[in-house]
Amino acid sequence: MTRPAGVAAVLRFARRHAGRDFTGRVRDAGLDLRPVSVETLQLNITRLCNQVCRHCHVDASPARREMMSAEAIDRSLALLAQHASIAKLDITGGAPELHPDFARLVEGARALSRHVMVRHNLTVQLDPHPITGASLAHLPEFFARHRVEVISSLPYYQAYFTDAQRGSGVFEKSLEALRRLNAQGYGAQDSGLQLNLVYNPVGPYLPAAQAGLEADYRRELLAKFGLRFNSLYTITNMPINRFRLHLEKSGQYEAYMEKLVAAFNPTAAEGVMCRTLVSVDHEGRLYDCDFNQMVDLPARGRDGRPLSIFEFDLDELLSRRIAFDDHCYGCTAGAGSSCGGATV
Amino acid sequence: MSHYYESDDLKKFGDIGKHAKALADDFFKYYANATGTDGALSKREKALIALAVAHAMKCPYCIDAYTTQCLETGSNPEQMMEAVHVAAVMQAGITLVHSVQMQNHLEKLVP
Ligand code: SF4
Ligand code: SF4
C-alpha cells in the first residue's frame, strides 16, 4: 500500500527536523542525483525462497507465493529486445530459480545477447523446491551453459557469522554449492564464468573495506576448502523490513540510523545504483531499486502515476525524480553500497 | 537513578573539550591519526590492539566501541578473542615477573 501524500509530507517534515532528510543532505553536499541511464533491468520475479535470513530486505520465505506473471516476463524480454541500451538483466527474488519461468527468462535474455546476472543463494541447489519438492541440482550446469554471472551471499568465510544470519547449517551447504559451481568452471581465472560473492555484516555495523575482506575470503576459502571465486562485493544492511524489525526489537534502530547518517559520503552518493538501474516487481511495477520496491515507493511518471513495464517509456523513466528516503543512507555510508558492492 | 558507566555516555566523549578545548582538539587529532588510518599497521591491526588495551584497562566504553570497530575492519571473533588473551596473559606475566622482586627481597631477608 502506498502512503497517502499527507502522511508522507508529515513524515518528511519530521525527518528534516530529526536531521535525517536524505534529499536535503544530498543537496547540501552540492549533488544532483538524477538518473543517468537504464543499464540494468533488475527483475524481482518471486518472493518465495527456501531460506529465511535474518537480514532479508525482501521478507522472503518458503511461505511467500508472489510470482511474476508469464506476461510480465514476456514483456520484460520484449523490452530488452527493443532497447539495446539495457545491457544487463539482473534476476533476483526470493530465490529466483524457484520461479517456473526462470529458465525461459534466462534463455530469452541470452538469446538477445544480454549479460545475465542471477542472485543465487547457493542452498537452493540442494534444498527441495518449497512448493513442488523438485530438485534444483541442475543449476550449476544450467548457469554455465548460459554463461550466467552468479552472485551469491556468503556472509563470511566461517560458519559463525554465516549461520547466525542465514540459518544453522547454511555455511556447510553453501560450501557444497560453491564446490559444484567451481566444478563447472565458475571462479576459475580463464573460464570467463563469473562467480561473485556478497558479504554483508551480520548486525548493525558497517562492512569492512571491500579489498581487504576480498583478500581474506580468497585466502581462507582456498586454503581451508579449496574454493575459488572472482570478486567479493560488500553490502550494507538496509534498515528496512525484517532487519529493521530486528533492530527495533533489540532497541538498536536509532543507533544504526545515526551510524549510517554520520557515515554519509558524498562520493558514495554519486554512485548510487538507482542512477543506472531500474527494478521491477512481480506485478511489473517499476522502482528506483529493489529496496524502494520493498518499502512500496514506486517510480513515478511526469503526472505522478506509478510506472510499469507495460507502459515503458525510457525517456520518461530517465526524467523521473528518484524517490529517496531514510533507508538511502544505507547506500551512501562509508564506501557506499550497491548490488555490485562498494561504490567508492 | 544514576549509574557509573552509562553506555549512552560514550556519545559524550567529545564533551571532554568543554573546559579545555585546545587540548581536546589536539587529543582527538592524535587519536584519529593513530587509530583511524592505515599506516605501517592496518586499521584492522590497530583495532585489535585497541580491543586488547580496552580489556587490560577494563574500559566498558572502549570494549563496546572496539568490538564494533574490529568487526567493521574485518576481524572475526576468533581473532578478537585471541587479542583479549594476549592482554590477559600480558597482565598475568607482568604480575608473575614481579615475583622476581619478591624473591630478590626474600633472599636478602633469608640469607
Ligand atoms: S536474503 Fe536471499 S536467501 Fe535469504 S531469505 Fe532473503 S531472498 Fe532468501
Ligand atoms: S535505496 Fe535505492 S533509491 Fe535509495 S539511494 Fe539506494 S539505490 Fe537509490
Do residue A208 and residue B68 have CB atoms under 8 angstroms apart? no
Angle CA B38–B43–B49, to nearest 5:
130
Residue A295 in this model has a pLDDT that exceeds 60: yes
**What is the pLDDT at residue B11?**
87
Residues contacting residue A97 through CB under 8 Å, at least 6 positions apart: A118, A120, A124, A136, A139
Do residue B72 and residue A216 have CB atoms under 8 angstroms apart? no
All residues of chain B having their beta carbon less than 8 Å from the beta carbon of residue A213 are 74
Residue A147 in this model has a pLDDT that exceeds 50: yes
CA-closest candidate to residue A153, choices A118, A121, A193 = A121
Is B8 contained in some domain? no
ipTM value, please give it. 0.80
Contact A277, A289 (CB under 8 A): yes
Domains of chain A (ranges plus CATH)? Answer: 21-332 (3.20.20.70)
Long-range contacts of A186-189 (CB under 8 A, 24+ apart): A186/A140, A186/A143, A186/A144, A186/A150, A186/A228, A186/A229, A187/A227, A187/A228, A187/A229, A187/A230, A188/A228
Q: Phi/psi of residue A153, each to 5°? A: -75, 130
Question: Percent of chain B beyond pLDDT 90?
Answer: 87
Residue B61 in this model has a pLDDT that exceeds 90: yes
Q: Phi/psi of residue A312, each to 5°? A: -90, 120
All residues of chain B having their beta carbon less than 8 Å from the beta carbon of residue A205 are 68, 71-72
**What is the pLDDT at residue A11?**
61
Q: Which residue of B has its CA nearest to A202?
A: B71
Range of the domain at B51: 41-111
Q: Phi/psi of residue A289, each to 5°? A: -165, 175
Is B103 contained in some domain? yes
> For residues A103 and A278, what is the distance between their CA atoms, to the nearest angstrom?
22
Estimate to the nearest angstrom the gap between the alpha carbon of A159 and the chain centroid: 23
- Distance of CA A318 from the midpoint of ligand 1 (Å): 30
Do residue A160 and residue B44 have CB atoms under 8 angstroms apart? no
Average of per-residue pLDDT across B65-73: 96
> For residues A273 and A37, what is the distance between their CA atoms, to the nearest angstrom?
10
> For residues A287 and A11, what is the distance between their CA atoms, to the nearest angstrom?
20
C-alpha cell at A179: 564446490
Residue A1 in this model has a pLDDT that exceeds 50: no
Average of per-residue pLDDT across A329-339: 95
DSSP state of A269: H
Do residue B73 and residue A208 have CB atoms under 8 angstroms apart? yes
Q: Is residue A274 in contact with ligand 2, taking CB distance under 6 Å? A: yes
Helices (H), chain A: 5-17, 22-28, 70-82, 102-111, 139-145, 159-166, 170-183, 210-225, 241-249, 253-262, 266-270, 290-294, 314-318, 329-332
Is B12 contained in some domain? no
Cell 630478590 sits at which residue? B104
CB pairs under 8 A between A and B: 27
Number of domains in chain B: 1
Instruction: Check which CATH number belongs to the domain holding B65 and give it.
Output: 1.20.1290.10
Is B100 contained in some domain? yes
List Cα–Cα distances, B48 to A168, B39, B40, B75, B80, in angstroms: 28, 15, 15, 8, 6
Is B23 contained in some domain? no
- Ligand 2 probe mutation, A274, A280, A286, A343, most atoms within 8 A of CB: A274
Residue A290 in this model has a pLDDT that exceeds 60: yes
Residues of B engaging A, defined by a Cβ cutoff of 8 Å: 42, 44, 68, 71-74, 76-78
Residue B26 in this model has a pLDDT that exceeds 90: yes
Is B3 contained in some domain? no
Contact A234, A341 (CB under 8 A): yes
Do residue A205 and residue B68 have CB atoms under 8 angstroms apart? yes
What tens digit of pLDDT does each residue of A193-228 get? 999 999 999 999 999 999 999 999 999 999 999 999
> For residues A181 and A138, what is the distance between their CA atoms, to the nearest angstrom?
11
Residue B1 in this model has a pLDDT that exceeds 60: no
> For residues B52 and B54, what is the distance between their CA atoms, to the nearest angstrom?
5
CA-closest candidate to residue A294, choices A241, A243, A341 = A241
Is B92 contained in some domain? yes
What tens digit of pLDDT does each residue of A5-64 get? 566 666 655 655 566 899 999 999 999 999 999 999 999 999 999 999 988 899 999 999
All residues of chain B having their beta carbon less than 8 Å from the beta carbon of residue A224 are none
Q: Is A147 left (phi over 0), alpha (psi -120 to 50) or beta?
A: left
Chain A: nearest CA to B14, how far in angstroms? 15
CA-closest candidate to residue A288, choices A35, A116, A26 = A35
**What is the pLDDT at residue B111?**
79
Mean per-residue pLDDT of chain A: 94
Residue A2 in this model has a pLDDT that exceeds 80: no
Parallel/antiparallel/unpaired status of strands A286-287 and A277-280: antiparallel
Greatest Cα pair distance in chain A:
57
Average of per-residue pLDDT across A230-237: 97
> For residues A218 and A56, what is the distance between their CA atoms, to the nearest angstrom?
25
Is B10 contained in some domain? no
